[in-house]
A and B are shown apart, each in its own frame.
Chain A
Amino acid sequence: MIEIDRTKCAYCGACVGVCPAMALRLRDIYVEVYNDKCTSCGACVRACPMNAIELKK
């Protein structure tokens, strides 16, 4: 599971591009997370230029 801090997010879609599970989707001004698909691999956490994503237990 991940959580995106919307106050930090720049809606750039970098996390979407690296998510192997296709668990993220860029909408107009936010990123939608499908945590049921998330495998907690952490790629998005590393990718996020804004440091806006955290892995959650």
Chain B
Amino acid sequence: MVVGAGPAGSSAAKHAAEGGASVLLVDRKKEFGVPVRCGEGVGSHWLKELGISISDRSVCARIKGAKLVSPDLKSSVTISTPETMGYVLDRKVFDRELAIDAARAGAETALKTEVVGVTKNNGKVTGAILEYDGKKTEVKSKILIAADGGESLVARMAGINTLATLYDSDFGVEYEMANVECEGLIEIYFGKSWAPRGYAWVFPKGEDVANVGVGIGGMEKPNAIHYLNKFLELDRFKKAQPVALKAGIIPVGAPCRQLVADGLMVVGTSAHQVDPIHGGGICLAIDAGNIAGKVAAKCVGEGKSDAKALSEYEKTWRSAREKKLLRRLLLRKVLEELNDDDYNAAIGCLNDADVGKLLDGNYAPVAGKVLTARPQLLRALKALLTSSETGRTL
């Protein structure tokens, strides 16, 4: 049984069904994919690395790069690397298509069905209590896959700690707006006054429509909506009118320490499998779902569902993805320490190739330039250069 028909759950359901398991995919929503809680951007680099393809129908806009804007709004740098190119999706269409794929592969789907409890026997997860149509029913499962996103209660009901701490989470809110002039670039605004420990964004959705939002660190006050309202006071949004409101939690710390237990797997944002730099979790959710679904099918076929058998998912996922995510987490921690003057100086002096290098973990060649512009950044650079997780250059 798979709980949650988001990118993680639908992908897991599809691969488990393709592998021969009988699959039930449940979601509390009355329409898979709705409401959307997402900025809907996906980067080409993750799509390519994870081998994910997306249909034309679910693409709202092609993105040719990212424009990073300094806190004082005086300088910006536009970068067009695989990291910053990509698409802005229509998640309503995208999520629905993934669920359709799962159903075509043979999964049964259930709408308006909420998991309200987990059943266990001798410590092993044996099923879930589903609430549907006002009634509660216990349904048995060989393997329960928790893909319930940022709320992540299902794994917690089963005893795996997936609680998101304020420190390791971002909280985001955005409007989809009309009358926003865009240039086919995503725009990222840094700075304490726009979005402390996070960023404000404009993600174009085609023509003059865009997702305009902010994500702030969980320890920050006041709440995210305050910063969004302030961001919208910019002249740039004078004519902008909201057509949808989307909000949510983004766990941006390290992935959860435990991804499987007897009879249980945790995938996607519920397992904190999120890119710590930009908070993107769509591609990583699909990737983890693919791996988990395949392993689940194999285990069911072999009549196994103990943690040891299921840990093939955890091992495969961690060895393929975790190192890169932890390296990006380190970069995030360093970026979080920067103040507005640091950002103003850095964005003022870096060009597109420099930022590409930074994102690749290739810090050394950029150091001289940054330090000439702002010697105070020495501490931040040292932290990056001396860490054991700095990646390929050292």
Contact = CB atoms under 8 A, between A and B. Distances in A.
Given A12-B247, A18-B163, A18-B166, A47 B171 contact: yes
B225 interface: yes
Given A11-B35, A28-B30, A47 B249 contact: yes
Nearest to A14: B249
B172 A49 contact: yes
Interface string A21-55: 01001111000000000000001001111110000
Name, among B157, B164, B223, B251, the residue most crowded by chain A CB atoms within 10 Å (CB to CB). Answer: B223
A15 to B, nearest CB: 8
B217 to A, nearest CB: 10
Given A25-B153, A28-B112, A50 B223 contact: yes
B218 A17 contact: no
A2 B156 CA distance: 21
Interface string B148-180: 011111001100000111100101110000000
Contact of A49 (B28, B153, B163, B248): B248
Contacts of A51: 222-223, 225-226
> Is chain A's interface secondary structure helix, strand, loop, or mixed overall?
loop
A50 B219 CA distance: 15
B238 interface: no
A41 to B, nearest CB: 10
Nearest to B216: A49
A39 to B, nearest CB: 13
Interface in B129-161: 149-153, 156-157
Contacts of B254: none
Contact of A22 (B37, B156, B165, B223): B156
Contacts of A16: 150-151, 153
A18 B249 CA distance: 9
Interface residues of B, number: 37
A10 interface: yes
Nearest to A45: B223
B23 to A, nearest CB: 24
A17 B28 contact: no
Contacts of B35: 11
Contacts of A18: 163-166, 169, 218, 249
A12 B153 contact: no
Given A18-B163, A28-B28, A28-B30, A13 B223 contact: no
Given A12-B249, A51-B223, A20 B151 contact: no
A49 B171 contact: yes
Nearest to B228: A49
B110 interface: no
B285 to A, nearest CB: 15
A7 to B, nearest CB: 13
Contact of B224 (A17, A28, A49): A49
A46 B247 contact: no
A48 B225 CA distance: 9
Contacts of B93: none
Contacts of A25: 116, 153
Interface string B106-120: 000000101010000
Name, among A10, A11, A18, A48, the residue most crowded by chain B CB atoms within 10 Å (CB to CB). Answer: A18
A17 B245 CA distance: 19
A17 B272 CA distance: 11
Given A18-B166, A43-B166, 7 more contacts: A14-B169, A14-B247, A16-B153, A17-B152, A17-B163, A18-B164, A22-B157
16 contacts: A10-B173, A10-B247, A11-B35, A12-B249, A13-B37, A16-B153, A17-B163, A17-B251, A43-B166, A46-B166, A46-B219, A47-B249, A48-B171, A48-B223, A50-B224, A50-B247
| 3 A-B pairs closest in CB distance | A14-B249, A12-B247, A49-B224
